Amino acid sequence: MNGNRAYLRLVIGGTSVSVLLAIAGAWAQSGAPKTPAAPAGRKLAEEEYKNIQALKGIPAEQVIPSMQFIAASLGVECEHCHVAHANEKDDKKAKVTARKMINMMMAINKDNFDGRREVTCYSCHRGSTEPVSTPILTEEEPRPADAEGKKSGEAKASLPAADQLLDKYLAAVGGADALQKITSRVQKGTLTAFGGQHFPVDVYSKAPDKRASIMHLQGGDSVTAFDGKQGWLSVPGRVHVMSAAENDAARIDADLYLPAHLKTLYAKFSVDIGEKIDGHDTYMIVGRNEGQPPVRLYLDTESGLLLRLVRYAETPLGRNPTQIDYADYRDANGVRVPFRWTLARPGNRFTIQVEQVEQNVPVDDTKFAPAPPSAAPKPSAP
């Protein structure tokens, strides 16, 4: 499956300032915890791919994210289960075993958790091909649970409210009035990935919610774009039209006024003490909507700036995490903008360093127009 993995790495190469670029894996998605049947007009997995068995009935667009979850949970590549260039074949024992494990996992959740997905591949494998069955010895002595709980409860009682922290974040970037004065943004920089390789990156944003990002590769440009309604990703000769779930994620990334809109994006918020990020203490805000995975925001306790965002992509087998760290905030026309961000997923990581920012400059809408349909052949089954 070397060819497929290379394509996946490239198709994600169209960069987005916040979240959507992922170098090795499936394109970002965000959906409901319980995998729904494919909506009318959308293909099922068995209609798009050959020899689908354990994942019959799921939307075809969820197959690749499910494969990504398995790979991350076991710490393996595609070829661990699949025959290169013939993914539909059952020649490898690992693939047959994987089907049995999927059925076992689903049965455990059905019989013991009323169908809720409490047990996943990662519950036992923890990044290894062999399940982890023995407790791990640690160098530190375990802390009493009661003391920790009491300490945590006391700390939570003095935490700021979510609204207060989100207001501080908005003020830290310049305030709502300053944000509204920005109608467009053009960023040029360098992406570092693939073991230290460097690629030029251009990102075009236009208010309120249009974005196009272009990574210039040796074989041609990799593009990610969202026109306010529909998103797409492309590499030379291949185009992927975003699913509804991907569009939801792209819409947030393309929001030029996101700091001012965060309060309205989630129905519930909770606050806790966050982890240290590059030496900075943080507050963690968790945003939740019914039927969707949470979003975690880590805000600097002193500056109020957003230092980390963690989001989750639902698959039928489990959640794929995406973590974005923001740094090197600088002033640009009265608004503080991160000039460096690092996106990490299980098994891969990349960093974008912005070198030039222009704001309130003309950006033609053709930058965000969908790419022409791809003439690429139908993919073989993962």
Angle at which helix 162-172 crosses helix 258-265, to 10 degrees, equals 160
The dihedral sign for the CA sequence 248, 254, 258, 261: negative
Report the predicted TM-score, pTM, of the whole model to 2 decimal places.
Answer: 0.82
State how far the Cα of 204 lies from the Cα of 213, in Å rounded to an integer. Answer: 6
The amino acid occupying position 352 is I
Q: How many CB atoms lie within 10 A of CB 347?
A: 15
Whole-angstrom Cα Rg for the chain: 22
Q: What is the pLDDT of residues 10-46, one digit of tens each?
A: 333 333 322 233 322 333 333 333 344 445 567 899 9
| Opening angle at CA 249, ends 285 and 117, nearest 5 | 70
- C-alpha atoms less than 13 angstroms from C-alpha of 260 in its C-beta half-sphere: 14
**For 37-74, how does the pLDDT look when each residue is reduced to its tens digit (9 = 90+)?**
445 567 899 999 999 999 999 999 888 889 989 999 99
Contacts of 370 (CB under 8 A, 6+ apart): 225, 227, 230, 232, 241
- Note the pLDDT of residue 154: 56
| Residue 301 neighbours by CB distance under 10 Å | 16
Residue type (1 letter), 17 = V
Beta bridge partner(s), residue 269: 287
Supply the pLDDT for residue 236.
Answer: 85
Distance in angstroms (rounded) separating the CA atoms of residues 236 and 247: 22
Residues of the chain under the 50 pLDDT cut: 1-38, 374-378
Alpha carbon distance 253, 241 (integer Å): 17
**Residue 54 CB neighbour total at 10 angstroms:** 17
DSSP characters over 315-358:
-SS-EEEEEEEEEEEEEETTEEEEEEEEEEETTEEEEEEEEEEE
